[in-house]
Structure 1
Amino acid sequence: MKINIVFPLFILTLCILSTSVHAQEYILELQQIVATDEAQLKPKIPAAQLAELGAQGYTIMSRNEKPTEFYFAIDHTFISFSDLSQGGNFSKHMNVKIKSSTNVQYQILTKLTSPLRTITGETIESTSCDNRCTSQTASIWNSADVYGFGFSTDNEQTFRPFSSQEATVLFLPAQGKSDIKMTLKIQTPRNQPEGNYQGAVQLIALPEL
């Protein structure tokens, strides 16, 4: 029996496609969305007219000054747990990098957009940790008898499940530059139904620009 787990992770401007290669492997294709060029981003309305609109109480959203630069990336957008056939504890790591040009504050949100499930409906449920955890509250997950999957952002000291209902805060508000290690953990019993389990997690950066 062989179980394959695939995690495509969605980030802001990346279009992600998971294409089947053969029964136990997937390949992820990434395509960067092309932004409008700088010339097209410049205001088309004359400055005098903008000033007049501003005097009438309108908020002018387009200006000539240089905008804040905000960078957000993860080093793996495709994570595969290739063989869970014997059951047990399996972990994978990824790094989240955030930086801004003006030390802008930000939050990183996460949401489970598709649960770990096979085409026949078999599912790996979210973890409840040793003494209960939620998408908002992390807890210790050391027991070999607690199955499911979840994540940690504190070097595996505590874990919590992804929320499938609403986006939840992954990292507390921060500013400047951050490099954060995220651990994905799956724990299955020996009688876990075989199949290709596929799920999707969405990460969203919300800078306060």
Structure 2
Amino acid sequence: MLNASYARADNYESERYRIQYGAVNIGGENSLTSGGYNLSVSLGQNAAGEFQSSGYVVKAGFQYLHSIIPFRFTISNTNMNFGTILPQVPATQQTVLTISSGGAGGYQVTAQEATPLKTLAAVTIPDTVCNEGSNSCTEGAAGVWNRKDSYGFGYNMTGDDIPSDFKNNNYYRPFPDASTKETAENIMTNENVGKNRQATVTFKVNISPIQAAGSYQTIVKFIATPGY
């Protein structure tokens, strides 16, 4: 055992052993000892960063964590075609989001629509408010949407790392509308490393009997961001 009670060093050696630490710390001490154990405490790294010299590069700090999981994001279906929609007959389409992220800070995926569903003549299908009343929904809080006389466009989510307000497949939200400067909402998030995390997005449209006929379109933007 070491006889020194305190040392400012990373490597400890004797004739029989060598203890080598992977970081330069700003402080520490042997705080608890007994006949059977020795508890040491160390604090943070005071030399984080990238350092270079001829022949070597040193990368110190959590931001240089070597990840064996590359960041990857895929969308299984990028063209949602609802075909001919009949009044009070909800139509749905699905896509699967798959993400892998090995960064120390996890990841997040956000969603936002360019506009509500609309024709070239700017006739719109409004974003859903779900069943209204106690079951109404907003861009940041899902609500029950199962009534045939509740109209609009919205989405449901199932799978990994989704918001907890999507309690089952009857819970929907409207997409935030970029044309009115609504902020994109998180739809998948995890603070930890993850591989092949998957969530299914179900798009739903329900129209009233007086909805004008036409070809309605919008763009929904999904952005995946790794954390470090």
TM-score range with shorter-chain normalisation? Answer: 0.5 to 0.7
Residues 132 and 139 of structure 1 are in contact (CA less than 8 Å); yes or no, is this contact kept in structure 2? yes
Aligned pair in 2 of structure 1 residues 187, 174: CA closer, same or farther (>3 Å)? Answer: farther
Point out the structure with max Rg over C-alpha: 2
- 1:168 and 2:185 correspond: yes
Which ranges of structure 1 fall in alignment gaps of 5 or more residues? 1-45, 52-60
What SS is found at the alignment partner of 1:151?
strand
- SS of the residue aligned with 1:196? coil
Per mean C-alpha deviation after superposition, the further-off stretch among 89-98 and 151-160 is: 151-160
TM-score (norm 2): 0.60
Q: Which residue is 2:40 aligned to? A: none
Q: What is residue 196 of structure 1 aligned with on the other side?
A: 215
Moved more, 65-74 or 137-146: 65-74
Contact 2:104–2:227 (Cα < 8 Å) also in 1: no
Matches within 5 A, 1:50-199: 69-101=70-102, 105-130=106-131, 131-154=135-158, 156-164=169-177, 165-175=182-192, 176-177=194-195, 178-199=197-218
Which structure has the highest strand share of the two?
1
Offset of residue 189 of structure 1: 1.5
CA–CA distance in 2 between the matches of 1:143 and 1:174? 36
Alignment coverage as a number of residue pairs: 156
Q: Is the 8 A contact 2:69 2:100 kept in 1?
A: no
The aligned amino acid for 1:139 is G
Structure-1-length-normalised TM-score: 0.65
Higher relative contact order (CA 8 A, sep 6+): 1
Amino acid corresponding to residue 47 of structure 1 in structure 2: Q
Cα offsets for 1:152-184 (capped at 9, x unmatched): 013523100000111111123254121111100
Partner Cα separation in structure 1 for residue 224 and residue 210 of structure 2: 38
Partners of 1:108 and 1:169 within 8 A in 2: yes
Aligned identity (percent) is: 29
In the superposition, relative to structure 1, how do residues 66 and 90 fare at CA in structure 2: closer, same or farther (>3 Å)? closer
2:21 matched residue in structure 1: none
